[in-house]
Amino acid sequence: MLNPLLPPLATAAWVTAALPERRRALAALADPRRAQSQLGDEILRLHAESEYLSAHGVRPGEGWERARDSLPPRRYDELAPWIDRIAAGEQGVLTGRCAAARIDRFEPSSGSTAAKKLIPSNPAGRAALARGVSAWIGSLYLRHPRLIGGRAYWSISPAIPTTRTAGGLPVGFQEDSAYLGGLSAWLVDQAQAAPGAVSRLQDLAAWRQATLHFLLAAGDLRLISVWSPSFLSLILDRLRLEWEPALRLLHDGAVVEGLRLPASPRRARALGAVAPDAVERIWPKLGLVSCWADGEAAPGAKALMARLPGVTLQPKGLLATEGLVSWPLGDQHVAASRVCVIELLGADGRVSALHELSEGDEGAVVITTAAGLWRVRLGDRVVVTGRVGQTPTLRFLGREDKVVDLRGEKLSDAFVAGVLARLCPDAAFRLLAPEGDDPPRYTLFIEGAYAPSPGELDAALAENPHYGWCRRLGQLGPAEVVRIGPGGPEAWVHEAQARGQRLGDIKPAALSALKDWRARLNLRQN
């Protein structure tokens, strides 16, 4: 039986361990140019002997502010030949050869429609990520100290089997807490509502059963941290559907796929008098939910929090597979100047360093990491919302690299997300996708109380001059709007899973390139 003192003690130890890095991160906010220059210099020293730097004329000992001019911003595809060599077993390609620099595994990217990408990982890169997590965790718990008093649920997705590249390097982590490494990972496991072993369950039904069991058992649950709000919404939906069998399992206990689900008869009897929708009675001490809440995740976050009365929402910062770009500090998302070198590529082609940015500036994120990603474009667009100290705060706008282009219309996810946020901000689910062939058209599948008219949608999309031109020429048919019943978010999740994404990593999107969403949503063709 769990000692009730262990989770608070483990959490307190984790927070205490995070405080020194929090202090360093806060001190760095006063001078982002210095923080970024120092970090860039460290990364250059670590990888001074790499083939990539040599090929671009960067000399050993050269400082970051000079070397960056020799390293052009690149998309992942342009780095792919170098990464392929590492996957085949070479070292010293993008990184140095010392233990901290060597690539020792890859992380699969959670891209939307592109083929799976392999993101290099090494000890230095994971140490940088841990610095950003420590700054966030220290600030989170100091701002909300009551969260220390009980367990937390950190997103645990069903396992994706670890594979290996041709050169023998592993791809992926088994457990989400493994990203933290060392002592922090152990402390997180002790404070978890659901043990890390749940993430090793590859069967989705078994994973769902175990997740519900451990969450129901955690009457002291204080914090829930997930990525997509739809991830938690689907768990709550399943809880309502499987309430009675879940309570029986909680009362009796079981072994599922080799994992023991302990019996908690007293907790089961207490929940027997509670309705499955009464979240405030199931977890009376739940104080905060951390999840995505910007861009296309905003409607889902709003709908989720309506089901959690009295619970605080903390929108997550921008964390890509490639690196941590921003972390929550109070009500802002401050650039992670001690984690990776961050730049913005503007519409005019100019690349600006953090200290050169002003409020209102928008651009595509470019990062340099200790794991050997040199000025890589993430495909994420952000806007500068202000400053903490002298360091910019950022808000995620949408993806820049997700474009559907059937007839030259060039609709991007970021543009469509803005249109839908304006036309139907409160929709529980909204997805624009192409349909038909002669001519093709775009259809908005929407779940919610209000839907725009086809004419309103068409006019808003025509604000994109390429779309408007295609419509005037008859290359695209008029837009349509199709109302759907409940199930849109789940259909989106199932599609993303079928394409190899981890459940906890699935991001909402405004635009899909797939043409058969009527079939996926079980709708009759008009």
pLDDT digits (tens, 9 = 90+) for 21-53: 999 999 999 999 999 999 999 999 999 999 999
Distance CA 5, CA 201 (A): 28
* Residue 63 pLDDT > 70: yes
What is the per-residue pLDDT for 437? 77
| 131 contacts 107 by C-beta, under 8 angstroms | no
* Residue 100 pLDDT > 80: yes
pLDDT classification of 405: cutoffs 50, 70, 90: confident
Average pLDDT, the chain: 88
- Cα separations (Å) of 182 from 14, 61, 126? 11, 32, 11
What is the per-residue pLDDT for 113? 32
Residue 260 neighbours by CB under 8 Å, 6+ apart: 253, 254
Cα angle value 5/132/212 (rounded, 5°) = 45
Q: pTM here?
A: 0.82
Q: Which of 210-214, 473-477, 484-488, 505-509 has the lowest mean pLDDT?
A: 505-509
Report the pLDDT averaged over residues 281-307. 90
| 343 contacts 91 by C-beta, under 8 angstroms | no
Look at strands 411-412 and 326-329 and give their pairing. unpaired
* Token duo for residue 519: 């079939």
* Token duo for residue 247: 């309570």
Backbone phi, then psi, for 27, in 5-degree steps? -65, -35
Of the candidates 393, 406, 433, the residue with the CA atom closest to the CA atom of residue 521:
433
Token pair 């705060």: residue: 393
- Cα separations (Å) of 224 from 131, 143, 246, 371? 21, 16, 20, 29
* CA–centroid distance for 8 within its chain: 27
Distance CA 122, CA 458 (A): 47
In 22-121, DSSP assigns E strands to: 105-108, 118-121
| 112 contacts 105 by C-beta, under 8 angstroms | no
Residue 255 neighbours by CB under 8 Å, 6+ apart: 261
Q: Is the peptide bond before 108 cis (omega within 30 degrees of 0)?
A: no
What is the per-residue pLDDT for 406? 81
* Token duo for residue 456: 């309103």
| 109 contacts 119 by C-beta, under 8 angstroms | yes
Q: What is the pLDDT of residues 298-332, one digit of tens each?
A: 888 888 999 999 999 999 999 888 999 999 998 99
Q: What are the structural domains of the chain?
A: 25-124+319-397 (3.40.50.12780), 403-520 (3.30.300)
| 165 contacts 300 by C-beta, under 8 angstroms | no
Distance CA 321, CA 274 (A): 40
CA dihedral 91, 93, 98, 99 (to 10 degrees): -60
| 481 contacts 444 by C-beta, under 8 angstroms | yes
| 190 contacts 180 by C-beta, under 8 angstroms | no
